[in-house]
Amino acid sequence: MIKKLRIVLPIFLLLFKINHAQKLSTFSEISIVTAGPGKELYEKFGHSAIRIKDPSLNLDVIYNYGIFDFDKPNFLLNFAHGKMYYLLAKYDFVYFFNSYMRDKRWLKQQVLNLNTSEKQQVFLYLEKNALKENATYLYDPFFNNCASKLKDISLEVLKENLILESNEIENNKTLRQLMNNEITWNTWGNFGINLIAGTILDKERNQIAYTYLPDYLYKTSKNAKIKRNGRIVDFVKREDVLLNYKEVQNNNFIVSPIFIFSALLIIVLFITVKNIKNNKRSKVLDFLIFFITGLIGLILTYLWLFSSHTTAPNNFNVLWAFIPNIIIAFLLLKKSVKLWMKSYLKGTIVLLNLVPLLWILGLQSFPVTLIPILILLNIRYFYLLKNLLPSIK
């Protein structure tokens, strides 16, 4: 959905000044351009932009809401706090086209069925927002991005005359379900997004909310209608395939989450069985398990309470990634532990097993790849509960 700003390419920095006197001709076309997914995580959802073409004015430009700059001061700090600032950039369409041709990503356009007045309104809206003082906006990957912006512009111009809902698109899906369809379940990107996202993604939505995804903006536009002079006409006049490449699939199973987490499960199971046989606890293993889960919990809680990420609150991954585990990790390095440690372990086991319960009840969906981790934690927690008694003071 997004495209990194290449500072070495001046064309990506070009923001044209608005010219109120310039009028689009009757030969002009305005299109929603949809791109297929790329290799990078930020490209996995695809991308959407608006193209305006007018041969009479020798005009063929793209308006791209998906520009960001890694080199901007405090970019990573702002990103961590949920303040992701993106740009609307206007530049010649040929550069946009060549970029996707180099990346071998498919490209389609939907020419909108707008009259001359509506085209002019869209043009002036985009020209104003492409000005340097207006170009920056606060990006949100689920609620305010390159695709949802185009839906908002269409509604701004056509208002109640635009009918976006269609019987061809099913309602009452969650944003997490849609995201999981876009990013393969057994990938680190899918695991990471599901890990940091709370229950807001599990709320059922109508199809208008789906348009945060370029694919669904494409489907919604394809099925949309316009009320015009007492008639109902199609929102899209024509569709063109500009680039026809197959989508690249991620088949690297060896470094996938399910493989790595399953391997960790087997290792922990092997060490635990060995500990039982030798009547000797692996303190380093327990330190790593408790410290890492506590650290993850600390990060998730920070995102929940102190960041501006709209999807971070009410994230019940903190039930297994339990913050106090950071302190317990150091206590478990000692030869003897306190009596209350038994009660703590019982509590963590209860919290841990609330995760599948919440999952079954539909309060929050968790990444499927988390299952080996939940089993791993249960095995080690129960082992510690049964085998810490000799060392308790």
What integer pLDDT is reported at residue 214 of this predicted model? 96
What integer pLDDT is reported at residue 14 of this predicted model? 46
Specify the range with the lowest mean pLDDT, choosing from 3-7, 231-235, 323-327: 3-7
Please identify, among 219, 243, 267, the residue that sits at the C-terminal boundary of a domain: 243
Domain count for the chain, please give it.
2
Residue 191 lies in a domain: no
Q: Are 285 and 265 in contact (CB under 8 A)?
A: no
| Residue 223 sits in the same domain as residue 338 | no
SS3 state at 106: coil
The pLDDT of residue 81 is above 90: no
| Residue 234 sits in the same domain as residue 383 | no
Rounded mean pLDDT of 191-218? 96
Q: In sequence order, what are the residues at sequence separation of 6 or more whose Cβ sits closer than 8 angstroms to the Cβ of residue 356?
A: 374
Distances in whole angstroms, Cα of residue 3 to Cα of each of 45, 96, 145, 346: 11, 10, 12, 48
* H or E element at residue 148: helix 146-158
Dihedral sign from CA coordinates of 239, 16, 11, 216: negative
Instruction: Supply 78's token pair.
Output: 């702002």
| Residue 239 sits in the same domain as residue 292 | no
pLDDT above 90 covers what percent of the chain?
78
In the chain, the N- to C-terminal Cα span, in Å, equals 57
What integer pLDDT is reported at residue 334 of this predicted model? 87
> The domain containing residue 266 runs over which residues?
257-391
Residue pLDDT, tens place only, 264-291: 999 999 999 999 999 999 999 999 999 9
Burial class (CB in 10 A: 0-12, 13-18, 19+), 176: buried
pLDDT above 70 covers what percent of the chain?
90
For residues 67 and 124, which has the higher predicted lDDT (pLDDT)? 124
CA distance 286 to 328: 9
Rounded mean pLDDT of 373-391? 90
CA distance 375 to 268: 10
